[in-house]
Structure 1
Amino acid sequence: LSPFSEQGNPEAQYRMAIMYQNGLGIVRNDAKALELMRAAAEQGHALAQHGLGFMYLQGECTPKDAAQAAVWFRKAADQGMAGSQMTLGMMYEQGLGVEKDPQAAKRWYELASGG
């Protein structure tokens, strides 16, 4: 995977990011995990966008930043990622990183449920 990741392949970057994030077969490296997750996300990789949103939301490999999390969840949600749609619904419901908006929350929940 590493050579493909270094060549800019977003799927390889995403998978390597997960490996670095969790120390799977390699030494855990938060900075490298964030770098690779962002690189894949910026290329439009929906799972990486969701993963980067999660990193920002949970403060994993980077300081917590709910507003930045919302940006990345939105990008993944716009590509049909139900998990990101559900998370955005929760964020709008609670006003976490976005302005509280019950109608937006409802819309994202409906999209997540296939409606």
Structure 2
Amino acid sequence: EYASTAKGRGVEVIIAAAGGAAHLAGVLASKTTLPVLGVPMVGWSLDGLDSLLSTVQMPRGVPVGTLAIGKAGAVNAAILAGQILGLKYPEILGAVEADREERRRQALADADPRK
């Protein structure tokens, strides 16, 4: 019910994080035409590879944008959702751009070749 009523409630992007069999993203995507971003999490075995395969292997017509396993994937899902929403909301795009610039500055500051 959550996914099938999401658009009517003003939801514009769904982020679904799950481990193990990780069918959450696929179930949500099958119930809505909103973008669904799937984040596989480390589960009980295979260091999250089982979750990755469960999230990425969707049947034709049930798209899920799948990100990396774990925390990196969760962060990237949030950024990607911001980029999607930024197409409609300039203030969100501004925040995404500011975050990217800060990450760039941080990477340059940490890129000491002597380390």
**Same fold by TM (over 0.5)?**
no
Larger proportion of helix: 1
Higher RCO structure, 1 or 2 (CA under 8 Å, sep 6+): 2
Give TM-score scaled by structure 1 length: 0.31
Q: Whose radius of gyration is greater, 1 or 2?
A: 2
Give TM-score scaled by structure 2 length: 0.31
